[in-house]
Amino acid sequence: MKQIVCILAFVFFCFPAFASEKSERIVEVLKAREQIKNQIDSCLNASKTILTDKFFQDNPEAFQGLTPQSKEWPEVVKLYDEFMNVSCYMITPDEYVSILSKGLDNTLSNDEMDDALEFFMSPSGQKFVQSSFYNSKVLADFAYSDQISEKMKAAKLKYFDGLAKLAKDAGLVNEQVQP
């Protein structure tokens, strides 16, 4: 309960109740809603390519003994799709825009917001927005690439091996356990 009160106090005192028109305009000019939608789309598209035979072969422990040949496999796929949908929409476009707008209100003065709007509405500013839009898509696609997957696989292995060793040393388990 104390944590909830602290979070509510933080939100209440650190963020204005409503974003100003200027900050909302900056967020609109920055095409923030479109950028977060692109990131969500990249996540959803990547999720369609993750649950493959290769992923299963690389991570058999993640399926609790179920295999693509199991009669329950369609349910595994359904659970995975539901999980990825929730994961990809961890923050909705509306939430993202609201947080960004309120953050601008808390960090920029009215004059600074005027300057930002003037820049982002200029030809150079629009080119910057287009570049940011493109780069956010490239970064989102990279975040779901095989290269990152390999890094995560190595990190996961190190984590679970270390956790198993700690548990074994503590006398809690006798064999390595991974999710």
> Is residue 77 located within the same domain as residue 26?
yes
Q: How many domains does the chain have?
A: 2
> Is residue 52 located within the same domain as residue 69?
yes
> Is residue 151 located within the same domain as residue 161?
yes
Q: Is the pTM of this model over 0.75?
A: no
Residue 35 lies in a domain: yes
Domain that holds residue 45: 20-144
> Is residue 54 located within the same domain as residue 139?
yes
Of 10, 30, 13, 12, give the one whose Cα is nearest residue 22.
30
Residue 168 lies in a domain: yes
Residue 97 lies in a domain: yes
> Is residue 153 located within the same domain as residue 112?
no
In the chain (179 residues long), the average pLDDT of successive 10-residue segments reads 41 53 93 90 82 72 80 88 89 93 94 94 94 84 72 74 78 59
